[in-house]
Amino acid sequence: MLLVRNIRLPLSCTERQAVQEALRILHLPAAAVRESGIAKISVDARHRKPVLVYTVAITLNDEGAEPAYAGAAPCVAVSKPVRLILPKGEKTLKTRPVVCGLGPAGLFCALLLARQGLRPLVLERGPALEERVKAVKHFSATGELNPNANIQFGEGGAGTFSDGKLTTRIGDELCGFVTETFLQHGAPAEIAIRQKPHVGTDLLRQVIASIRREIEQLGGEVRFDTALTGLMVKNGRLAGIETTEGTLPCEVLVLAVGHSARDTFAMLQKSGLNLTCKPFSVGFRAEHLQTAIEESLYHEAAGHPALPHGEYQLSQQVGGRCVYTFCMCPGGQVVASASEEGGVVTNGMSYHARDGKNANAAVVVSVDGRDFDQDPARAIAFQRRLEQAAYRAGGGGYAAPAENVPSFLAGQGRLTIGRVQPTYDRGVTPYDLGSLLPEELAATMRTGLSAFERKIAGYTAPDAILTGLETRTSSPVRLPRGEDFQALDLPGLYPCGEGAGYAGGIMSAAVDGLRVARAILGRYKAGD
CATH of the domain at 144: 3.50.50.60
The pLDDT score that the predictor gives to residue 155 is: 98
Q: Residue 179: how many CB atoms within 10 A of its CB?
A: 17
The pLDDT score that the predictor gives to residue 62 is: 93
Distance CA 117, CA 528 (A): 10
Q: Does residue 127 have a pLDDT over 80?
A: yes
**Which of 37, 331, 309 has the alpha carbon at shortest distance from 195?**
309
Length of the chain: 528
The pLDDT score that the predictor gives to residue 526 is: 83
The pLDDT score that the predictor gives to residue 528 is: 61
- On whether residue 249 sits in a domain, the answer given is yes
Please state the rounded mean pLDDT for residues 103-119.
97
Please state the rounded mean pLDDT for residues 172-183.
94
Q: What is the DSSP-derived secondary structure letter of residue 521? A: H
- Tell me: do 119 and 201 sit in the same domain: yes
Q: Are 497 and 302 in contact (CB under 8 A)?
A: no
Distance CA 282, CA 473 (A): 7
Distance CA 131, CA 186 (A): 21
Beta-carbon contacts of 141 under 8 Å, excluding residues fewer than 6 positions away, are: none
Q: pTM for the full model?
A: 0.95
Distances (CA, A) of 339 to 135, 144, 367: 12, 11, 22
- For helices 376-394 and 262-270, what crossing angle results, to 10°? 150
- Dmax over CA atoms of the chain, in Å, equals 70
Distance CA 264, CA 226 (A): 13
The pLDDT score that the predictor gives to residue 284 is: 98
User: For the chain, how many structural domains are there in total?
Assistant: 3
- Tell me: do 437 and 499 sit in the same domain: no
Q: What is the DSSP-derived secondary structure letter of residue 43? A: E
Distance CA 275, CA 282 (A): 20
Distance CA 93, CA 85 (A): 21
Starting at the earlier edge strand, list the strands of the sheet with 33-44: 33-44, 51-60, 2-9, 76-78
| DSSP track, 240-260 | EEEETTEEEE-S-EEE---TT
Coil vs helix vs strand at 477: strand
- Tell me: do 64 and 142 sit in the same domain: no
- Tell me: do 465 and 484 sit in the same domain: no
The pLDDT score that the predictor gives to residue 497 is: 98
Distance CA 119, CA 113 (A): 7
Report residue 85's pLDDT band, with 50, 70 and 90 as the boundaries.
confident
Distance CA 76, CA 72 (A): 7
Q: Where are the alpha helices (DSSP H) in 300-455?
A: 376-394, 405-410, 439-453
Please state the rounded mean pLDDT for residues 442-455.
97
Rg of the Cα atoms in the chain? 24
- Tell me: do 433 and 457 sit in the same domain: yes
- On whether residue 86 sits in a domain, the answer given is no
Q: Which of 470, 500, 517 is the last residue of a domain?
A: 470
Q: What is the DSSP-derived secondary structure letter of residue 146? A: B
Q: Which of 39, 54, 78 is the last residue of a domain?
A: 78
The pLDDT score that the predictor gives to residue 72 is: 79
The pLDDT score that the predictor gives to residue 48 is: 87
Q: Are 163 and 200 in contact (CB under 8 A)?
A: yes
pLDDT of 451-487, one tens digit each? 999 999 999 999 999 999 999 999 999 999 999 999 9
Q: Does residue 81 have a pLDDT over 80?
A: no
Q: Does residue 82 have a pLDDT over 90?
A: no
pLDDT of 219-273, one tens digit each? 999 999 999 999 999 999 999 999 999 999 999 999 999 999 999 999 999 999 9
- Tell me: do 159 and 262 sit in the same domain: yes
- On whether residue 392 sits in a domain, the answer given is yes
- Tell me: do 74 and 97 sit in the same domain: no
- Tell me: do 220 and 118 sit in the same domain: yes
Q: Tell me what the pLDDT averaged over the chain comes to.
A: 96
Distance CA 334, CA 41 (A): 29
- Tell me: do 23 and 130 sit in the same domain: no
Enclosing H/E stretch for 508: helix 506-521
- Tell me: do 267 and 137 sit in the same domain: yes
- For helices 104-115 and 174-184, what crossing angle results, to 10°? 90
| DSSP track, 48-89 | SS-EEEEEEEEEESSGGGGGGGTTSSTTEEE--PPP------
The pLDDT score that the predictor gives to residue 70 is: 86
- What is the bridge-based pairing of β-strands 346-349 and 253-255? unpaired
Give residue 40's domain range.
2-78
Q: Are 139 and 194 in contact (CB under 8 A)?
A: no
- Tell me: do 43 and 154 sit in the same domain: no
Distance CA 356, CA 171 (A): 31
Q: Are 64 and 89 in contact (CB under 8 A)?
A: no
- For helices 104-115 and 201-217, what crossing angle results, to 10°? 30
Q: Are 216 and 222 in contact (CB under 8 A)?
A: yes
CATH of the domain at 29: 3.30.70.2700
Distance CA 72, CA 306 (A): 29
- On whether residue 342 sits in a domain, the answer given is yes
Q: How many CA atoms lie within 13 A of 294 on its CB side?
A: 21
Coil vs helix vs strand at 458: coil
pLDDT of 509-519, one tens digit each? 999 999 999 99
Q: Are 61 and 32 in contact (CB under 8 A)?
A: yes
Who wins on pLDDT, 380 or 71? 380
Report residue 79's pLDDT band, with 50, 70 and 90 as the boundaries.
confident
Please state the rounded mean pLDDT for residues 393-419.
97
- What is the bridge-based pairing of β-strands 358-367 and 321-329? antiparallel
Distance CA 377, CA 265 (A): 9
Distance CA 193, CA 224 (A): 35
Coil vs helix vs strand at 226: coil
- On whether residue 83 sits in a domain, the answer given is no
Q: Which of 470, 487, 512 is the last residue of a domain?
A: 470
Q: Are 287 and 359 in contact (CB under 8 A)?
A: yes
Q: What is the dihedral of CA 10, 14, 16, 21, to 10 degrees?
A: 0
**Which of 512, 499, 521 has the alpha carbon at shortest distance from 255?**
499
- Tell me: do 171 and 252 sit in the same domain: yes
- On whether residue 84 sits in a domain, the answer given is no
